[in-house]
Chains A and B, each alone.
Chain A
Amino acid sequence: MIKFKENRLKAIFQNAGKKLSIYFTAGYPDLYDTIPILELLAKSNVDFVEIGIPFSDSVMDGEVILNSHKVALENGMTIDILFDQLEKIRKKISIPIVLMGSMNPVYQYCFEEFCRRCHEVGVDGLLLPDLPLDDYEKYYRSSYQQKNLAPIFMISPQTSNERMSRIDALGEGFLYALSGNSTTGGSSEIGKSSDYLTNLSNHTFRNPVVLGFNIKTKEDIQFAHEFADGAIVGSAFVKILKDGFDKTRIEHFLKQLI
């Protein structure tokens, strides 16, 4: 079996220190905003980014991200356009990039071809929340491996310890732990599932663990860092893009987070 080699994503976790990631949706608020947002994040203290591939029927997402998917699709965003955008900017930035999205658009694109293009344009990890582990092992693992694309899997409060170990064995780069049972941008406060979070921090993982969902503020990030190696801010960031790309506003938001 081919082993996963180092890539940009794996490399950043070699360094000590808690990590911060920002999620945004490709093609939102305008079709070509993917590029300036990425440039801005690459210059900031954010350690890696997650770019959402818009889907018409994403069940994992709450109102804010759903709306961004809808707008991005209306803007004409497609996987091919996203790859073209990434290809243009990749030479200028070194920040690790993780793509995240529902299975179906990737499945229609053709999984193997998708991974090949990811490699070409410098994508480091791929997170498909509705990809079952069994399917990954049976059909897709070699596509990820051949293109050195880190497979990212999720852990939730419903995940048993035994399953956590399996996820850890299959995952690369980092494990995406949900802060609780929810869709993205839920209104619930993080920290309600403290037994789960304690269990998470006591469990021995091969991979770093990054906490995501409902992390909105500096305090949330600090709380997440008590239990995990990093935190991901998604909906709260997407929300500030609503009225259009605004460099000052984004910089101000990031300054408040870090």
Chain B
Amino acid sequence: MNYQVDENGFYGPYGGAYVPEVLFSTVQNLSQSYQGILDDPEFKKELSRLLKLYVGRETPLYPSPYLSGLHQTNVFLKREDLCHSGAHKINNTLGQVLLAKRLGKTRIVAETGAGSHGVATAMACALLKLPCFIYMGEVDMKRQFPNVERMRLLGATVVPALSGSKTLKDATNEAFRDWINNPVDTFYVIGSVVGPHPYPDMVAQFQSVISKELIQQVPDLTGKEVPDYVIACVGGGSNAAGSFYHFLDNPAVKLVAAEAAGKGLDSGFTAAATFRGKSGILHGSKTKFMQTNEGQVLEAHSISAGLDYPGIGPLHAWLHDTGRAQFVAVTDEEALDAGIALSQKEGIIPAIESAHALAALSHLDFKPTDVVVVCLSGRGDKDLETYIQYSTSKKSSHDQI
């Protein structure tokens, strides 16, 4: 089975470039030039220099005594939360902004949900000196206000997305509209493995630095050639794509994607696209997303703004259909409990997005000899308020009993 994008930009039936004519030539130029730029020795050298000295790579693969004990196996955390910016997103934004400069673009737009991609884009733009405009749903601006302030401090213009559900999907729509109005000078830095070809593949390649490091780190730490499991959370799916990338063709490595079940798969408040979605065309590609019978896109729900997206990238839709990856649905509560537990038992506050991947461990059966890698995609500083509210309400309901 082939898990790489084909020459037409598809993963099996998913992917492609479903963009209006005004963006056609921009997207086509990008798809013709991106691989050459990514493979260019000078580009590679500059990107790896920045990843090392600016981002702080490589990130540790940390053996977690707490999780290993809890699950009676060997759990390792890939510490993407230690990246500059606090999440894996910067692996991609530095790559794309460097690429935008190569293409002579003078203006950057991006969408953001939780704000992590927005912050990472703002940082890359501050460093590489390009003006940037970050679209963020009005609802998300309220629930992730510290990130709004960070972006502003970094010199970015944060534009509230006021249409639709005012969350990530609408911020993505607004960023697309900006790009349609400015197709010549503007580069759209997409934050996940979504959007028209070549974005899903390009973003996956930029994030594949995660699995590339694992290839070295796993044998060094465990003596095993490859991990038995790689587990990551999936909103659009960029940290999962990056964690899986070098293992896609090795069936010995089980790939697990943790989707946000929200309040439960049947609650009507969920973001689990493979469980509750079907194939369609959204944001420039054919993929799986939640929609009505008439093809209207449904609003997603997740406690985590970064997973609050009705779809997943086309690569993940394909990994799902082929059975290459196992998809697990994790509720808000399971994720919050797992995040609070890791904070208390190990002194690591994970992003609620990443806490979904931690909670997925309880859905799986491991052998004592297994090597299990969980991508800890981001840190939870931005989520303190949600964590605190949750533990306070849990404590008070416990006290009442």
18 pairs, CB–CB < 8 Å, chain A vs chain B: A55-B296, A60-B20, A78-B294, A102-B281, A104-B291, A106-B295, A108-B293, A109-B294, A109-B295, A132-B16, A154-B22, A156-B20, A157-B22, A163-B25, A167-B21, A181-B22, A181-B184, A182-B180
**Residue B104 lies at the interface, judged by CB distance under 8 Å to chain A:** no
A160 to B297, CA, bound (A): 33
- Chain A proximity of B37: nearest CB distance (Å): 21
Q: Closest chain A residue to B295 by CB distance?
A: A108
**Residue A73 lies at the interface, judged by CB distance under 8 Å to chain B:** yes
Most A Cβ at <10 Å: residue of B16, B163, B173, B293: B163
Question: What A residues does B24 contact at CB under 8 A?
Answer: 156, 158-159, 163
A59 to B283, CA, bound (A): 8
Q: Closest chain A residue to B29 by CB distance?
A: A158
Q: Closest chain B residue to A55 by CB distance?
A: B296
Question: What B residues does A183 contact at CB under 8 A?
Answer: 177, 180-181
**Residue B63 lies at the interface, judged by CB distance under 8 Å to chain A:** no
Question: What B residues does A66 contact at CB under 8 A?
Answer: 163
- Chain B proximity of A39: nearest CB distance (Å): 26
Q: Which of A56, A102, A104, A153 contacts B164 (CB 8 A)?
A: A56
- Chain B proximity of A57: nearest CB distance (Å): 5
Q: A104-B281, A107-B280, A130-B20 known; A158 and B26 CB under 8 Å? A: yes
Question: What A residues does B169 contact at CB under 8 A?
Answer: 57
Give the total number of A-B pairs whose CB atoms are below 8 A apart: 105
**Residue B17 lies at the interface, judged by CB distance under 8 Å to chain A:** yes
- Contact indicator per residue, chain A 144-184, by CB within 8 Å of chain B (1) or not (0): 00000000011111111001000100000000001001110
- Contact indicator per residue, chain B 169-186, by CB within 8 Å of chain A (1) or not (0): 110010011001111100
- What number of A residues sit within 8 Å (CB to CB) of B? 40
- Chain A proximity of B198: nearest CB distance (Å): 14
Q: Which of A59, A79, A153, A160 contacts B173 (CB 8 A)?
A: A59
In A59-102, which residues have CB < 8 Å from any B CB? Answer: 59-60, 62, 66, 70, 73, 78-79, 102
Contact status A186-B25, CB under 8 Å: no
Q: A154-B21, A156-B21, A158-B24 known; A103 and B176 CB under 8 Å? A: no
Contact status B281-A103, CB under 8 Å: yes
A55 to B297, CA, bound (A): 8
- Chain B proximity of A24: nearest CB distance (Å): 19
Q: A56-B164, A57-B169 known; A153 and B280 CB under 8 Å? A: no
Question: What A residues does B25 contact at CB under 8 A?
Answer: 158-160, 163
Q: Closest chain B residue to A58 by CB distance?
A: B173
A103 to B282, CA, bound (A): 9
**Residue B3 lies at the interface, judged by CB distance under 8 Å to chain A:** no
What 19 new A-B contacts, CB under 8 Å, besides A57-B283, A104-B282, A182-B181? A55-B296, A57-B297, A70-B163, A73-B296, A102-B281, A104-B281, A105-B294, A107-B295, A130-B19, A131-B18, A132-B16, A156-B20, A156-B21, A156-B22, A156-B24, A158-B24, A158-B25, A181-B183, A183-B181
